[in-house]
Structure 1
Amino acid sequence: MVSSTSDISFGHGSLGTQRTSCWAGILCCLLLACSYVGSLYVWRSTLPRDHPSVIRRRFTSVLVVSIASPCVVWALTEWMKILSDVPLMPLFGIRLEGVVAAGILPLLLTMMLFLGPLVQLVVECPKGILFEIKMRCNLRCVSLCVRDLKWMRNHIVAPLTEELVFRACMLPVLVPCTGPTAAIFICPLFFGVAHFHHITEQLRSGCDSWGDILITAVFQFAYTYVFGIYSAFIFIRTGHLLAPVLCHSFCNCMGFPEFGRALKHPLRPVLLFCYQLGVALFLLCLLPLTDPFFYGVTPICTLFLNPRAVCS
């Protein structure tokens, strides 16, 4: 919900200045999105995206963008004289108050949503879930994961850098203009569109038809947009970068739920019940587990003089 101009914390500037600030914020988000995606292609290579050398180079690129993005936001806020009374580090979700809750509750909420796929994994473990957990917690297994560049990209680097750039840096410049509720739905547009760059990878491989590529691109946009809404909601409600990073990493680990396999599974009734129960628990606990009570005063909500909806 976009509030009236009088509710927005832009300082004491005129209406024209406030509108300019809105456009500057949107252009800033567009710049950040283009910079992040563009950084992946500054290295010329014919190798696939999963090749170790490509992954290492892209690590370097996104690290540079992730360092530069907060500086861009800081420069914008200084230039437009907005957010002047709010420290930037807490706005980026880097703070200690409520950090333990931020590291546990949103992740637990996300696991509720994936209850069906999690139960499916448990029943399909050949040696049992306890054996699987023990193996994955083994130091040797952890060491192998850390040295696996693809694993590091999917579970550490991508979640951290994408949440920093597309949530922590974009939301502070959108919320003062649109309000927190509208920002939750606007911010993921940049995140969803940014994933269209995967079309380049598919075209380069030459394995898929244009129709398949288009269907995949639309599906990926829809999936990333919906996740972006959830991630932005979590960031605003908790005021912590850690919360969406952990949820993002967990979702990358789980992948998109395989409904088709669940429908063909011998334990289909049980799995379908767990899928439905997970969604019900998620919706039931969405607001209680993200209640700002657990996380302290959410810094980003202080940008809005009359916080409503997701901020309260």
Structure 2
Amino acid sequence: MASEPELLEYFLAPPISLEIAHTLTLLFAAAYVGSLYLSKYTRLSFSDKSIRVGSGGSKERGANERWRDDPDVIRARLAIVSLVTVFCCFVVYAVIRAVSWYKVGVFYSTIVRLGFHLSSVESVYPFLLAPLLYLGPIYASYLGEHLPFQFYFSWRRDVVDTFISWQGVRNYVLGPITEEIVFRACVLSLYHLGGASRTWMIFGSPISFGFAHLHHAWEIYNRYGRTRTALKNAALTTLFQLSYTTLFGAFCAYLFLITGSIYPPIFAHIFCNVMGLPQIGLEIRRFPAHKQSIMVAYCIGIIGFAFALRPSAFARLSSMYWRSGSMVGWF
């Protein structure tokens, strides 16, 4: 018969091991990226010829080539990653069911753990962090009169044509939603069940998200002519993408962990995709008379963003992910 300390240790121990969490995380990443190459409809194809292209440009699309932005490729890829996302959620459900003491309410527990429950959205505060970080670019858009209801803003061009297109659906709708569900909700749920530290969940878990973007190097290499310059361009672009996607993943992981909701990370992902990378140099060249105010806006945004991230700012928000390891914390 087990002693009382042994029973206590059993009930307080993480339901799964970190090794299982790591393995399933790799499975999710491999399934998400690998699914893009399973079918001839989702795979890209390029000419084997090396072509020199002008500086800063890519070669023309060949008649028999399939590029990432081709509508039929986008449709096929969105369909397959949607199925993979459902599969990953089912795996999380299966794990929770396997380790749960009671089989009743496992589906609801999975919904809550994945951050899908609408009651998890308790405040607009987490949704304001990404716009705060982009205060500088937003101010520059204001100077250029490109914000909604300003002179150069067009609902058809900036909203309809941007979002109601296959590229728009991929970049600003299904792409961010599926990536956040898989690489944030599913991955972090398993790491929490495995007893991973908060530090690892925030800074370690996004590594798989960053590496999931490395396959773009093959496309860049081919689109820029399969030359040594194209190879260099692909390597530098991909390393830069790996860096900022991993950092962005850490931000979204933090949002998910501290709110217990998948909706703030999805919103942040969509918002940042719409805004793109900040280009302070270009904005200063466009509005030289406002150089100082643009720099001030950037500084206020960055400092304000860092200040707003402090855990005490989320004190009124409840998140099971910030509880200490306990029976209540696991389930």
Please tell me whether residue 183 in structure 1 is matched to residue 201 in structure 2.
Answer: yes
| Structure 2 contact 82–178 (Cα < 8 Å) conserved | yes
Aligned residue pair count: 291
| Structure 1 contact 236–300 (Cα < 8 Å) conserved | yes
Alpha-carbon deviation of 1:110? 1.1
Alignment-derived partner of residue 90 in structure 1: 112
SS in 2 for 1:209: helix
Alpha-carbon deviation of 1:70? 1.0
- Runs of 5+ unmatched residues, structure 1: 1-5, 308-312
Alignment of 1:243-262 (within 5 A): 243-262=264-283
Equivalent position amino acid for 2:266 in 1: V
Is the radius of gyration larger for structure 1 or structure 2?
2
SS in 1 for 2:278: coil
Please tell me whether residue 232 in structure 1 is matched to residue 253 in structure 2.
Answer: yes
Percent identity of equivalent pairs: 29
How well do the aligned residues superpose, as a CA RMSD in angstroms?
A: 3.1
Please tell me whether residue 286 in structure 1 is matched to residue 305 in structure 2.
Answer: no
Aligned partners of 2:235, 2:102: CA distance in 1, in Å?
40
Query: Against the structure 1 CA distance between its residues 141 and 116, is the aligned structure 2 distance closer, same or farther, given a 3 Å change threshold?
Result: closer
Please tell me whether residue 65 in structure 1 is matched to residue 84 in structure 2.
Answer: yes
Equivalent position amino acid for 2:78 in 1: F
| Structure 2 contact 220–230 (Cα < 8 Å) conserved | no
**1:135-171 CA distance string (max 9 Å, x none):** 33x7x97544443110111111111000000000000
| Structure 2 contact 12–327 (Cα < 8 Å) conserved | no
| Structure 1 contact 191–224 (Cα < 8 Å) conserved | yes
Query: Larger relative CO (CA 8 A, sep 6+): 1 or 2?
Result: 1
Alignment of 1:103-182 (within 5 A): 104-125=124-145, 130-131=149-150, 135-136=154-155, 142-176=159-193, 177-182=195-200
Query: Against the structure 1 CA distance between its residues 124 and 13, is the aligned structure 2 distance closer, same or farther, given a 3 Å change threshold?
Result: closer
Equivalent position amino acid for 2:169 in 1: M
| Structure 2 contact 206–250 (Cα < 8 Å) conserved | yes
TM-score (norm 1): 0.83
| Structure 1 contact 164–241 (Cα < 8 Å) conserved | yes
Aligned partners of 2:110, 2:154: CA distance in 1, in Å?
41
Alpha-carbon deviation of 1:51? 0.6
Aligned partners of 1:142, 1:288: CA distance in 2, in Å?
34
TM-score (norm 2): 0.78
**1:262-289 CA distance string (max 9 Å, x none):** 3434121111111001111112222368
Alpha-carbon deviation of 1:40? 1.5
**1:38-79 CA distance string (max 9 Å, x none):** 111223242110110000000111110011001112223444
- Runs of 5+ unmatched residues, structure 2: 46-65
